[in-house]
Amino acid sequence: MSSTTLFSPIKMSKIHRNAINLLNEWKNHPLRKPLLLRGARQVGKTHLIRQFGLEFENHIEINFEKDRQAKQFFHGSLDPKLIIQKIAAYAEKPIIPGKTLLFFDEIQECEQAITALRYFKEEMQALHVVAAGSLIDFKLKHIGMPVGRVQFLYLYPLSFSEYCTAIGRDQLFSEAQKQLKLTAPLHDILIEEVKRYCWLGGMPAVLDAWIEHGNYALCQEAQEEILFAYRQDFNTYTKDHQLPYIERVFSNIDQQLGQKFKYATVDSDTRAVNLRDALDLLETAGIIHRIYHSAAQGLPLSAGIDERRFKVYFFDIGLIQRLSGLSMKDWLFQPLAVSHIGHIVEQFVQQEYIAYTAQHSPPELFYWHREAKQSNAEVDFLFIKNGKIIPTEVKSGHSGRLKSLKLFLDSHPHSPYGLKISESNEADFNSIEAIPLYAIQGWLSAQSN
């Protein structure tokens, strides 16, 4: 096996990503199309493809951001045979369908390369072609989506499953997914790891720092650098007059985390349309996820949404805590017990759900809210499992009333049961299934109920 990385030094992390399994499925699929890897900046897209490149005899990487001359390969004809002849000559290495992985990184910098992906599918399907890029979704909005000719794979921050693998807790995690509930002391060990993950988050640079140094302060520095880079990106995809609005929304996310989002809470003196546009930009950048209220009277859940009623979550649980200014002292001495902890645990749950269910399509999350005089009710999430709508409540501690969950089940007879996710390993009761925070992947994959 050999690798040629044009215009970009290789720095391989030790962190394993579960998406490598999906890439191998793509590699061996008879109807394979060029693959476009999507996801927020710094979630590990380039590293993942470099790891995947080790599966091939040859791996050639072109980074359009670091070498502008690479765009010349796509001037004029977009015939795939001519393009790979130029690239092979430049890389001084043969490009052989079935044996070579051709990786276009930062492809958003070359619109013609995005367009060319469709011709690789039509005229050179045997060649494995992967593309990725920072803020690629903005470019796709501009030039159009190559629907039907390109496959998509979404990458997110490391899930709790991947975190456990990285720190050597993979066997314990796997056992938990089989049983769903562990007894003490194994349950207590995994809950402590959930708490640590809630502070560290799933950004590869942060976890690399933790694995290598075991130093919270260094991890906090890495988080701050990432947040600074995201703020710097605002200038890339935001018009000058929008910059103040996007900064206000970005800085306000932690204050409205997991709550019905109100533009007036961000800035009561600013027109809602300006703040809405800023929120749209953050969503396109992959920084936030919106979850909409749904009447939940049937599938798809999107058929019953009210676009005026939504909640907002951040894309990484560690970064949102840094954005909120949570101090190291607060976390070390009162983990999972700070003032906004209920919503932080919801952040964990939505992040886990997305990681295990939204690999090939954009995330779709929903919640249910009933506003009635003296009878308000809200269910945190509406999950889909085995074709059924499962109302889900998240509790930060061992206790917690489930009045809203019961009201939902009474008014939605097509939902067979409700789900409670908490720190506890308590038994199921009545029509409520209870699982600990660490068992979300196992619950989603189980075929029972």
- The pLDDT of residue 12 is 45
Q: DSSP state, 151?
A: E
pLDDT in tens, 61-73: 999 999 888 999 9
> Is the pLDDT at 6 greater than 60, yes or no?
no
pLDDT in tens, 327-346: 666 666 665 554 456 689 99
- The pLDDT of residue 237 is 93
Alpha-carbon separation of residue 303 from 28, 296, 299, 307 (angstroms): 36, 8, 7, 11
194: tokens are: 């959930």
Quote the CA–CA distance of 353 and 345 in Å, as a whole number. 12
- Once rounded to an integer, what is the mean pLDDT over residues 316-333? 79
**pLDDT higher for 336 or 435?**
435
- The pLDDT of residue 9 is 42
pLDDT in tens, 31-59: 999 999 999 999 999 999 999 999 999 99
Q: Counting every residue, how long is the chain? A: 449
Model confidence band, residue 1 (pLDDT cutoffs 50, 70, 90) = low
Domain ranges, ordered by start, for the chain: 2-154, 160-445
- The pLDDT of residue 7 is 42
- The pLDDT of residue 341 is 65
**pLDDT higher for 255 or 372?**
255
Quote the CA–CA distance of 290 and 283 in Å, as a whole number. 8
Nearest to 291 by CA among 404, 386, 377, 368: 368
For the chain, give percent helix, strand, coil, nearest 5: 45, 20, 35
pLDDT in tens, 185-196: 999 999 999 999
Quote the CA–CA distance of 68 and 397 in Å, as a whole number. 53
The four Cα atoms 300, 304, 308, 313 give a dihedral, to 10 degrees, of -40
SS3 229: helix
- The pLDDT of residue 441 is 97
Quote the CA–CA distance of 346 and 439 in Å, as a whole number. 14
Average pLDDT across the chain, whole number? 91
Alpha-carbon separation of residue 12 from 9, 47, 398 (angstroms): 10, 7, 41
> Is the pLDDT at 104 greater than 50, yes or no?
yes
Are residues 138 and 235 in contact, defined by beta-carbon separation less than 8 angstroms? no
40: tokens are: 């927020």
| C-alpha dihedral sign at 91, 48, 232, 211 | negative
> Is the pLDDT at 308 greater than 60, yes or no?
yes
**pLDDT higher for 97 or 8?**
97
203: tokens are: 């950004």
pLDDT in tens, 129-167: 999 998 999 998 888 766 788 999 999 999 999 999 999
- The pLDDT of residue 10 is 41
- CATH fold of 2-154, please? Rossmann fold (3.40.50)
- Once rounded to an integer, what is the mean pLDDT over residues 169-181? 96
User: Strand pairing partners for 436?
Assistant: 422
Are residues 44 and 13 in contact, defined by beta-carbon separation less than 8 angstroms? yes
**pLDDT higher for 3 or 16?**
16
- The pLDDT of residue 106 is 95
